[in-house]
Amino acid sequence: MPDFVSRLSAYCAANDNLSIAAKIAAERMEAEQVEPQLDDHAPINGYVYMMRSGRRYKIGRTTSPSRRHREVRLDLPDPTTLIHTIPTDDPAGIESYWHLRFSSKRVRNTEFFTLDASDVAAFKRRKYQ
């Protein structure tokens, strides 16, 4: 599949009338690089993700980080970056943990937080939870 996507991207880039398709193919290649690969022994039911939009961070859960990133990006006015994903066998529980841990930094009743560099580093240290 990655080889097909890269060939599709090259073909679309060579044809000016397919520039939208080239952009979609490039985003797909980027998304495939972001999703973590684990050994076959770890049961993965989902992911807890951190995205940055403007000066705020969104922490949520999903079964597909790349799909969720595309969805969130469309809803927010600022550019959105997928910072980190944590593969887990308990997405709801792990998301609740991080929401509780950063509750003092929550923006109203949303999944957005005003985090500092040490908070982001703590989230990024988790490879599996």
Looking at residue 65, its pLDDT comes to: 92
Sign of the alpha-carbon torsion through 37, 34, 52, 75:
negative
Closest CA to 52 of 98, 7, 100, 117: 117
Whether the Cβ atoms of residue 112 and residue 106 lie closer than 8 Å to each other = yes
* 95-114 core/surface letters (b: 16 or more CB in 10 A; e: else): beebeeebeeeeeeeebbbe
pLDDT along the chain (129 residues), means of 10: 68 67 65 56 82 94 92 88 93 93 92 94 89
Looking at residue 86, its pLDDT comes to: 93
Question: Within 10 Å of residue 48's Cβ, how many Cβ atoms?
Answer: 27
**Residue 43 DSSP symbol:** -
C-alpha angle with apex 62: 61 to 64, nearest 5 degrees? 145
Looking at residue 80, its pLDDT comes to: 92
Looking at residue 14, its pLDDT comes to: 72
**Cα separation of 84 and 127, whole Å?**
9
Domain boundaries, the chain: 1-34, 39-124
What tokens appear for 125 in the block? 């240290």
Looking at residue 46, its pLDDT comes to: 93
